[in-house]
Amino acid sequence: MVELWFGVAALCMTAYVVLDGFDLGAGTLHLLVARTDEERRQVLAAIGPFWDGNEVWLLATGGVLFVAFPSALAAGLSGFYFAIFLVLWCLILRGISIEFRSHVGDRLWRSAWDAVLGASSALLAILFGAALGNVVRGVPLGADGWFELPLFTDFSAREPVGILDWYTVLVGVFALVALSAHGAAFLTWKTTGAVRERSRLLAVPLAAGLAALWPVVTWGTVRANPAFFSSFTTRPLAWLCSTVALGGVVTILLGLRRRRFLTAFLGSCAFLAGLLGATATCLFPALLPSTRDAAFSITAHAASTDPTGLRVALGWAVVGFPLAITYFAVLFRLHRGPAVAAPDGEGY
């Protein structure tokens, strides 16, 4: 049962990155691919029906951790307190920028909210990447199961560690490139005209940069947490997920080259899902590894709630998850085809 709920948490986080990742990437790039007001409204029309629903998977991840692994959630929320507030502010500003942009027709008003959308989307990608880097590297958990992290120390990825060091910054940059490529692939699929062409021209170098950075991040992971790579070599599922990720990168490049834009976007989805699946497989059973002593790490088995609670929660999950998946299937079905900019003043 513990293994099942660890998998559910990993699937929820993967769904969030794959789904909200494309609108984060689109928001990051929209100032580059859309140069007129109508073109920017076209980008908003592409992500508008999806962005707030996509964030539900972030809440679902938190809900799964609360139900199944409450002590790990408690330790993480307190240890990453400052980082979580940065994430919340970026999420708030991104939502406000999307909703408020078209309320006033003034050019300065719209340009300001466009800049906020671009900056908050890029910062979220970097922050989420740095958060993943912290989990993979480990955090300074003590014997009491708690930790606190400064913003940075000496950037060495060794004790005493901070939120930012050379490794977590590297993972943050990698996340920014990966989600930007994901957003560019999405926009090539969901837009037309100049926005599509500019998105395609950006997607190719971003995908190539993604392929080049991946081995560098892998090398960094080996340096920052050698035990992580040891798990990778002994777990077939990690190899399978990595193969899916590799196939996703190839599919992105081939899809863009052949102008099969949906194929390129699906390849990007496969890359993100495969990479996160491999990461979760290598981390198991650790939820929060300790940089001080492996014995202090918070594992899924140690952090899980009682089996009765897990079984009751599973009954609700069997009902809730199919409903959520059906909702997204209907949503994508209703908004199939290229996005069309809404009339001026009507938002998205």
- Burial of 121-159, coded b for 16+ CB within 10 Å and e otherwise, reads bbbbbbbbbbbbbbbbbbbbbeeebebebeeebeeebee
Reply yes or no on whether the pLDDT at 341 is more than 80: no
Tokens of 89: 């502010």
Q: Give CA–CA dist 276/242, Å, rounded.
A: 9
Tokens of 274: 């495969």
Kindly indicate the confidence band of residue 345, based on its pLDDT and cuts at 50, 70 and 90: low
User: pLDDT, tens digit, for every residue of 171-229?
Assistant: 999 999 999 999 999 999 999 999 999 999 999 999 999 999 999 999 999 999 888 88
Q: Which pTM was predicted?
A: 0.94
> Average of pLDDT values for 159-164?
88
Question: With pLDDT > 90 as the criterion, what percentage of the chain qualifies?
Answer: 68
DSSP 155: S
Kindly indicate the confidence band of residue 152, based on its pLDDT and cuts at 50, 70 and 90: confident
- Whole-number pLDDT of residue 103: 85
- Whole-number pLDDT of residue 343: 79
Kindly indicate the confidence band of residue 274, based on its pLDDT and cuts at 50, 70 and 90: very high
Do residues 231 and 238 lie in contact, with contact meaning Cβ atoms separated by under 8 Å? Answer: yes
Average pLDDT, the chain: 91
> Residue type for 330, please?
V
- Whole-number pLDDT of residue 295: 87
Reply yes or no on whether the pLDDT at 347 is more than 70: no
User: pLDDT, tens digit, for every residue of 19-38?
Assistant: 999 999 999 999 999 999 99
> Average of pLDDT values for 235-261?
94
Please work out, in degrees rounded to the nearest 5, the angle formed at the alpha carbon of residue 144 by the alpha carbons of 223 and 60.
75
